Amino acid sequence: MNEVLCVAAIQLTSTRCWQDNLTEVTRLVDSAVIDGARLVVLPENVFLFYGKGMRWLAESDSQKILFDNVLALAKKHAIYLVVGSHPSLYTPNGDVVADGRVRQTCWVIGPDGLIVERYDKIHLFDVMVDDKAASYKESDYIEKGDLTPKVIDVDGFSIGLSICYDVRFPELYRALAGLGADVLLVPAAFTYVTGKAHWDILLSARAIENQCYVLGVNQCGWHNETRQTYGHSALYSPLGVRLASLQEKPGYFIYNIAKQALEDCRQKMPCFSHRRL
């Protein structure tokens, strides 16, 4: 029997107010689950779109309240819920992050309401962009994660974790594919300018070269007077075909991904067995 996994991409315009963001996430997750979603993926900066506030929230009592609600949401629906990124005060071994920064962490929550895995972003967005913000320097607020690729199992599908700017570094995705990944997740907050230029190209390329499904889940719209993100969340097939997508407004899509399509692609074009380097 062909294995199928129903995935959902939740696209948002998150703000500085975690309570408002949580309300919107809950509404959209509830709807996606009604439509059959089993693996629900949220974008980067989902509950806080404000770099300067990351450490404050990570240290505050609000952090526990927020996590309790998110864990309960996954348990209520018996789904795998991927929090695209949310700041962590602690490293995976329990040390407090130094210098007033945080780890930018992708959290995976299981159907039992427990954290299954975490992945800390390893590539930080310190760049110049031709938009109203002009420059970005994530390293002011975020500490780089450890160089440990993370793959989890969801109903027989191997899911590889990454965050946003990581998508420009193909070696990470080749490592995830080497660990058996079937689906590569890219929760993001891609700027409008860089997204319009590269978002779909990068997602498609990572799918083609690794013969995996790639699910890019982006923020969208204006978050403040200078920060605009691109939206256009999308799912790509192992052949690089766009299977589902959104435009530039909040919402979600669901799609049933099939294991057979992966197997067919890899058998007909066995690229990995042809590698020489």
Tell me the torsion sign for CA atoms 49, 54, 60, 63. Answer: positive
pLDDT (0 to 100) of residue 1: 47
Tens of pLDDT along 164-182? 999 999 999 999 999 999 9
Q: How would you class 131 by CB atoms within 10 Å of its CB: exposed for 0-12, middle for 13-18, buried for 19 or more? A: middle
pLDDT (0 to 100) of residue 89: 98
Most distant pair of Cα atoms in the chain: their distance? 53
Tens place of pLDDT for every residue, the chain, 277 residues?
A: 479 999 999 999 999 999 999 999 999 999 999 999 999 999 999 999 999 999 999 999 999 999 999 999 999 999 999 999 999 999 999 999 999 999 999 999 999 999 999 999 999 999 999 888 889 999 999 999 999 999 999 999 999 999 999 999 999 999 999 999 999 999 999 999 999 999 999 999 999 999 999 999 999 999 999 999 999 999 999 999 999 999 999 999 999 999 999 999 999 999 999 999 8
CA angle 191, 192, 195 (to 5 degrees): 80
Q: Report whether 212 contacts 178 (CB < 8 A).
A: no
Catalytic residue annotation? 44, 121, 164
Q: Return d(Cα 128, Cα 85) in angstroms, integer.
A: 22
Q: Return d(Cα 151, Cα 185) in angstroms, integer.
A: 10
Inter-helix orientation angle 62-77/18-34, to 10°: 0
Q: Report whether 29 contacts 50 (CB < 8 A).
A: no
Tens of pLDDT along 111-167? 999 999 999 999 999 999 988 888 999 999 999 999 999 999 999 999 999 999 999
Amino acid at 101: R
Q: Whole-prediction pTM value?
A: 0.97
